[in-house]
Amino acid sequence: MTTTPATTAPGRPPVVDMATWLAASDELLVREKAHTRESDRLAAARRRLPMVEVDGSTPVVGPDGPVPFRDLFDGRDELMLYKHMWHDGAPHQGQCEGCTVSAWHLRDTVYLHARGVSFAIVTTGPWDEVAPYVDFMGYTQPWFSVRDVAAPIGDDMGSFTCFLRDGDRVFLTYSTTGRGVEAVAGPFGLLDRTPNGRGEAWEDSPDGWPEGHDPCWYWRTDADRRPDVGPTSRPAPQWTRPGATPEQTLGRMGHHH
């Protein structure tokens, strides 16, 4: 084995020859494959969870006014919801930046549709506030207000929930929140494969590695795209929207969940 010290910042891995790197990569691959197989087993267990029947006639409010919840299936047998938090009366830049992460990464659900799964976003915000926000963000997914709608349709904002339809009957099958929603945000998985990782303080990194930021550094940035939660920051994707300019007040700034 040929090993030389890293010549850059402290904490960098040693520099080795290709054969040594391949051996170390193959050793890691064994663990990665085990992780993949366990993930497959978890998915199989999800498919075997019991179901809870819900009232498919429950009204939710969208661009065409109140519609029964079962309409969100759009003729398909399966439905996935993302439940987006809402701060009443807040300007666009003051809406939930954490939920923005999930919603932004699901702007295109063509592959879900190809598999017979509909997708929609629901939020507790009043529709007259939600509609201009959706327009500003350029979202094309169906959005609905579930203000005052009971569980399991209108609860647990900041979560993914799956439903199955059998004719007019509707069943809750699965729900996840917290870090469970990371599955849809591709950059997390990509960053986990880079040398410096996500750059968050909780990560287990080599001694001497660059210090991590606070969790959720990616939620808000200033106009120069630097992480910032100050009075002129916005949820990061909003800077790509036409007319987005620094604001002097966030209204009700997002809360760290």
Name the residue type at position 194. Answer: T
Burial class for 216, CB neighbours closer than 10 Å (0-12, 13-18, 19+):
middle
Q: For residue 148, what are the contacts with CB-CB under 8 A and spacing of at least 6?
A: 154
| CA 212 to centroid of chain Cα atoms | 21
The b/e string for 80-98 (b: 16+ C-beta within 10 A; e otherwise) is bbbbbbbbeebebbbbbbb
Q: Is residue 188 part of a domain?
A: no
pLDDT of the residue at 13: 87
Q: Is residue 107 part of a domain?
A: yes
Q: Is residue 103 part of a domain?
A: yes
Cα–Cα distance for residue pair 104/161, rounded to 1 Å: 17
Q: Is residue 244 part of a domain?
A: no
Using alpha carbons, list the distances in angstroms from residue 177 to 31, 61, 80.
26, 23, 13
Q: What is the DSSP code string of the chain?
A: --EE--SSSTTPPPEE-HHHHHHHHHHHHHHHHHHHHHHHHHHHHHHT---EEE-TT-EEEETTEEEEGGGGGTT-SEEEEEEE---TT--GGGS-HHHHHHHHTTS--HHHHHTTEEEEEEESS-HHHHHHHHHHHT--S-EEE-TTPPTTTS--SSEEEEEEEETTEEEEEEEEEGGGGGGG-HHHHHHTTSTTTT-BTTS---TTPPPPB-TTTTSEE-TTS-B--STT-EEGGGGGSTT----S--SSPPPP-
Q: Is residue 25 part of a domain?
A: no
Could you report how far apart the first and last alpha carbons of the chain are, in Å?
Answer: 47
Pseudo-torsion of CA 184, 186, 190, 191, nearest 10°? -80
Q: Please report, for the domain that includes residue 100, its CATH number.
A: 3.40.30.10
Q: Digits of tens for pLDDT over the chain (257 positions)? A: 556 655 566 778 889 999 999 999 999 999 999 999 999 999 999 999 999 999 999 999 999 999 999 999 999 999 999 999 999 999 999 999 999 999 999 999 999 999 999 999 999 999 999 999 999 999 999 999 999 999 999 999 999 999 999 999 999 999 999 999 999 999 999 999 998 888 888 888 888 877 777 778 888 899 898 888 888 899 999 999 998 988 776 665 444 33
pLDDT of the residue at 212: 73
Which of 227, 221, 178, 217 lies closest to 197, judged by CA?
217
Q: Is residue 42 part of a domain?
A: no
Locus of tokens 């509609």 = 131
Q: Is residue 171 part of a domain?
A: yes
Structural domain including 153 reads 47-177
Name the residue type at position 10. Answer: P
Q: What is the number of structural domains in the chain?
A: 1
pLDDT of the residue at 247: 79
Q: Is residue 240 part of a domain?
A: no
Which of 142, 177, 150, 147 lies closest to 162, judged by CA?
177
Rounded to two decimals, the pTM is: 0.90
pLDDT of the residue at 256: 39
